């Protein structure tokens, strides 16, 4: 664990070797000459955008995707020179000037955005057009795609780098909604081809579609969660071997023996039923451990599963380590990750909370330092590398 010392009360470990291997496994799944856009929005889903972006590129990703201008600027300031696609739309002159200055590639979703971008770009610049085939969120209506592309083509300063849509139910491969979106996308492409307007790059697949159905790959796939070793749904677990990139650990700060009938933490939501050995662990909901997991989660200590007891508080939680008399202050507790033969995943928390692993890994706050583990260092792509090459 690079940089880990005894002053750390709690931390997040990031295994860049696992991320690189995930990229390589995903690439092996792709159809034909399909390229890979690594989505590192939301600070790479809590994993650290700069380190994750560099590792993904070194492992064979072709370009990066972010959600906001600020995220793209952060990568440029860190020296990444690859193509960076901003997946959320821009619609003001100030945003247009920012994408031009930082060489970011914006997404445009409406005719007005196309016109604003065309008016305020000083020179030709790559842009991406998004159409809505059934997500109901962003994009021009699929039935108006030909007119939308024709409008963009009429703007001399706009270089259409790609046209894409986003799937709503790709984690349900047999769903009627997925089939309908695929059909609509195909209709759009056929109409564009007939008008000689089809962009050189079109894409539709997210992580689930990239893992599940090669017919959805087209020229590019946009992969986010799978990069970080998490499957979009259990049905995909047999497609490629993915390794979780994130582990979360904290130290014990106190161990005490208490008698039966002792109330534990705020509200005494847990009371010992027999004499017990309890340990206080220096991590809480202010760090990203959901309070709703109180009395509903386990942790790993010395390779053994132990229950969390009592209400999780802002900075601390309690575990019952009665079965481990050797537990001491300073011992390391694993909340997400592996210890010996035992593993607790973000999916385990998500199942208990009836949510998705995306929300779990994005929730760990930055007062938890990210400790990067990388047995094979990830060389930073040289500044300006592929900067002239669009998606």
Q: pLDDT 10s digit of each residue in the chain, 391 long? A: 444 567 899 999 999 999 999 999 999 999 889 999 999 999 999 999 999 999 999 999 999 999 999 999 999 999 999 999 999 999 999 999 999 999 999 999 999 999 999 999 999 999 999 999 999 999 999 999 999 999 999 999 999 999 999 999 999 999 999 999 999 999 999 999 999 999 999 999 999 999 999 999 999 999 999 999 999 999 999 899 999 999 999 999 999 999 999 999 999 999 999 999 999 999 999 999 999 999 999 999 999 999 999 999 999 999 999 999 999 999 999 999 999 999 999 999 999 999 999 999 999 998 999 999 876 544 444 344 444 467 7
| 80 vs 318: CA distance, rounded Å | 42
Which one from 41, 45, 164, 218 is the annotated catalytic residue? 41
Angle between helices 69-77 and 93-101 (to 10 degrees): 20
**Is position 193 annotated as part of the catalytic site?**
no
- Report which secondary-structure segment, H or E, holds 341: none
**Is position 266 annotated as part of the catalytic site?**
yes
Name the residue with tokens 């990203």. Answer: 288
Beta-carbon-side half-sphere exposure of residue 18 (alpha carbons within 13 Å): 19
Name the residue with tokens 């990239």. Answer: 210
Which one from 256, 266, 270, 358 is the annotated catalytic residue? 266
Q: Would you state the structure tokens that stand for residue 169, as one six-digit string?
A: 């139910």
Between strands 158-164 and 125-132, the pairing is parallel
User: Quick check: do 16-228 and 246-344 share a fold?
Assistant: no
64: burial class by Cβ within 10 Å (0-12, 13-18, 19+)? Answer: buried
| 215 vs 94: CA distance, rounded Å | 39
Name the residue with tokens 């790993």. Answer: 300
Return the CATH number of the domain spanning residue range 246-344.
2.40.37.10
**Residue positions forming the annotated binding site for substrate:** 137, 314
Q: Would you state the structure tokens that stand for residue 278, as one six-digit string?
A: 């309890």
Q: Where are the domains of the chain?
A: 16-228, 246-344
Total-model pTM: 0.90
* Strand ranges in the chain using DSSP code E only, listed in sequence order: 10-15, 35-39, 63-66, 84-89, 105-108, 125-132, 140-141, 158-164, 202-205, 220-223, 246-258, 263-264, 270-271, 276-281, 298-301, 304-309, 317-320, 332-339, 342-344, 370-373
| 10 vs 312: CA distance, rounded Å | 15
Q: Does domain 16-228 have CATH number 3.20.20.10?
A: yes
**Residue positions forming the annotated binding site:** 137, 314
| 173 vs 240: CA distance, rounded Å | 16
């Amino acid at each position: 664990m690079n940089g880990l010392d005894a002053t750390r009360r709690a931390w997040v470990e990031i295994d860049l070797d696992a991320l690189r291997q995930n990229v390589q496994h995903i690439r092996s799944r792709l159809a034909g000459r399909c390229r890979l856009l690594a989505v590192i929005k939301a600070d790479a889903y809590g994993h650290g955008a700069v380190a994750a972006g560099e590792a993904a590129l070194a492992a064979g990703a072709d370009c990066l995707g972010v959600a906001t201008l600020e995220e793209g600027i952060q990568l440029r300031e860190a020296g990444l020179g690859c193509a960076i696609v901003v997946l959320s739309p821009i619609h003001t002159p100030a945003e247009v000037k920012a994408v031009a200055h930082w060489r970011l590639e914006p997404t445009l979703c409406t005719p007005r955005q196309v016109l604003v971008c065309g008016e305020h770009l000083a020179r030709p610049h790559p842009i991406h057009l998004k159409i809505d085939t059934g997500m109901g969120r962003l994009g021009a209506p699929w039935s108006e795609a030909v007119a939308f592309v024709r409008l963009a083509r009429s703007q001399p300063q706009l270089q259409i780098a790609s046209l894409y849509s986003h799937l709503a139910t790709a984690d349900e491969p047999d769903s009627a909604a997925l089939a309908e979106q695929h059909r609509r996308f195909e209709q759009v492409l056929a109409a564009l081809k007939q008008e000689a307007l089809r962009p050189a790059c079109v894409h539709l697949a997210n992580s689930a579609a990239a893992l599940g159905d090669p017919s959805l790959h087209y020229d590019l796939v946009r992969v986010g969660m799978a990069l970080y070793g998490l499957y979009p749904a259990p049905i995909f677990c047999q497609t490629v071997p993915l390794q979780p990139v994130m582990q979360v650990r904290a130290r014990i700060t106190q161990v005490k023996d208490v008698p039966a009938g002792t109330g534990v933490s705020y509200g005494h939501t847990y009371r010992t039923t027999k004499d017990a050995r309890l340990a206080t662990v220096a991590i809480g909901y202010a760090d990203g451990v959901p309070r709703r997991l109180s009395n509903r989660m386990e942790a790993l200590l010395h390779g053994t599963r132990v229950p969390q007891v009592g209400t999780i508080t802002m900075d601390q939680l309690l575990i019952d380590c009665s079965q481990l008399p050797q537990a001491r202050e300073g011992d390391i507790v694993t909340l997400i990750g592996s210890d010996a033969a035992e593993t607790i995943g973000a999916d385990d928390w998500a199942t208990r909370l009836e949510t998705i692993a995306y929300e779990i890994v994005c929730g760990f706050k930055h007062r938890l330092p990210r400790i990067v583990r990388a047995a094979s260092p990830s060389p930073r792509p040289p500044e300006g590398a592929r900067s002239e090459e669009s998606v």
